[in-house]
Amino acid sequence: MRRRRLLFGLVGLGVAGAGGVLWWRARFDRIVIHHSAGASGSIDLLRRVHRQRQPGDPIDMIPYHFVVGNGRGMGMGEVAATDRWPHVWGAHTRNRRANLTGIGICLIGNFETAPVAEAQYRAALDLAVDLARRYRIAADALCFHGELPGAQTLCPGRRFPRDRMRADFAAALRA
């Protein structure tokens, strides 16, 4: 994995400057929720899709920091960290700031066409709340991909319960 070593070298250089290391450790200020838009999936599958669609990408990693399974390809509610976590910025939106400072969580499934299962919803919520506590992310800083400025996507799908998740997230952090 030569290109991965190169990448980490570049990341190291980028954060070595004045205060850079501190910024990098405290850089997360939001969580961005996505769906995979496929009925089944796993990190391996998303990685294969990424390699097919962007064969020349020097960053050989899927765009998100975490993936939450739906029982097809991964366990129901199973949480897995990707190669990006926690040292590499995300590539999950068109918004540069959201990529740099957001933790990208992808739920396997297509919530345009199907509702999210309760166990998967709970696992994603618990993950988001844990991360928010760990990185001191504000109770109103849970976002959904399609709501970011400039986004041209419905991700994570019209059937995803955004308002419920926003409320559950805020309530858990204020508790």
Residues that bind Zn ion (CB under 5 A): 34, 145, 155
Instruction: Select 19 or 149, whichever has its Cβ closest to Zn ion.
Output: 149
User: What is the SS3 assignment for 4?
Assistant: helix
Write down the least CB distance from residue 174 to Zn ion, Å.
27
Write down the least CB distance from residue 153 to Zn ion, Å.
6
Write down the least CB distance from residue 43 to Zn ion, Å.
16
Contact 84, 11 (CB under 8 A): no
Contact 32, 146 (CB under 8 A): no
Instruction: Select 84 or 145, whichever has its Cβ closest to Zn ion.
Output: 145
Instruction: Select 145 or 162, whichever has its Cβ closest to Zn ion.
Output: 145
H or E element in which residue 77 lies: strand 76-81
Instruction: Select 4 or 85, whichever has its Cβ closest to Zn ion.
Output: 85
Write down the least CB distance from residue 62 to Zn ion, Å.
12
Instruction: Select 24 or 111, whichever has its Cβ closest to Zn ion.
Output: 111
User: What is the SS3 assignment for 110-166?
Assistant: CCCCCCCCHHHHHHHHHHHHHHHHHHCCCCCCEEEHHHCCCCCCCCCCCCCCHHHHH
Write down the least CB distance from residue 144 to Zn ion, Å.
8
Contact 141, 73 (CB under 8 A): no
Residue 83 is encoded by which pair of tokens? 């190669």
